[in-house]
């Protein structure tokens, strides 16, 4: 139940940030800029340092209150018109050691990175560098699972085992982050069973 409350708290914070970032006067409508070839420069020109400073103070008050009242723990980066208007860190990077969290701490992004990976793959496909039907072995020749395509990976139909489960046996330091390269290496070396055939 505590995780559910934490999830809803996180959703509220993200929602507040989204709503806050979407408020703009009618003269600031980005939709007016869509067909302009100098769109980037017009967006940057909308940036108002005085307004951003006021927003920065409001955001800082919001996140400090969330930390104090609700135990918010995390880092925040908010941009507007291609400028950083708020950056902050709250809580601990390591609760057991009481290491203070900073804006320079690394996080495992996990599923948050899926949309960026999918977009990068689509751009590579559009550029003719790969095809959705290419098998993983084209890029990782030693990969031990035959018949798994890029499309299977993108649509979560590869049948590959969940790396967070099988790596527990093979990854010595459970507190250390595991890289994608290490996951592929462990799959190649240990060949954990797939959950189901790809497709």
Residue from 21, 96, 111, 113 carrying the catalytic annotation: 111
Residue 111 is a catalytic residue: yes
Q: Among 140, 186, 136, 137, which residue's Cα sits nearest to residue 161? A: 186
Return the active site residues: 111
């Amino acid at each position: 139940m505590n995780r559910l409350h934490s999830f809803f708290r996180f959703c509220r914070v993200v929602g507040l940030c989204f709503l806050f970032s979407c408020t703009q006067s009618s003269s600031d409508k980005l939709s007016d800029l869509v067909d302009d070839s100098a769109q980037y420069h017009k967006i940057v020109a909308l940036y108002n340092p005085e307004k951003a400073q006021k927003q920065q103070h409001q955001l800082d008050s919001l996140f400090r209150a969330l930390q104090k009242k609700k135990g918010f723990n995390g880092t925040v980066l908010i941009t507007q018109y291609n400028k950083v208007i708020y950056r902050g860190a709250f809580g601990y990077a390591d609760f057991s050691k009481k290491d203070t969290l900073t804006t320079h701490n690394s996080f495992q992004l996990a599923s948050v990175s899926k949309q960026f990976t999918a977009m990068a793959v689509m751009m590579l496909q559009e550029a003719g560098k790969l095809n959705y039907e290419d098998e993983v072995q084209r890029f990782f020749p030693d990969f031990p699972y035959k018949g798994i395509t890029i499309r299977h990976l993108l649509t979560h139909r590869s049948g590959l085992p969940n790396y967070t489960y099988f790596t527990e046996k093979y990854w010595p330091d459970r507190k250390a982050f595991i890289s994608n390269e290490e996951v592929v290496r462990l799959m190649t070396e240990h060949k954990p069973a797939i959950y189901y055939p790809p497709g």
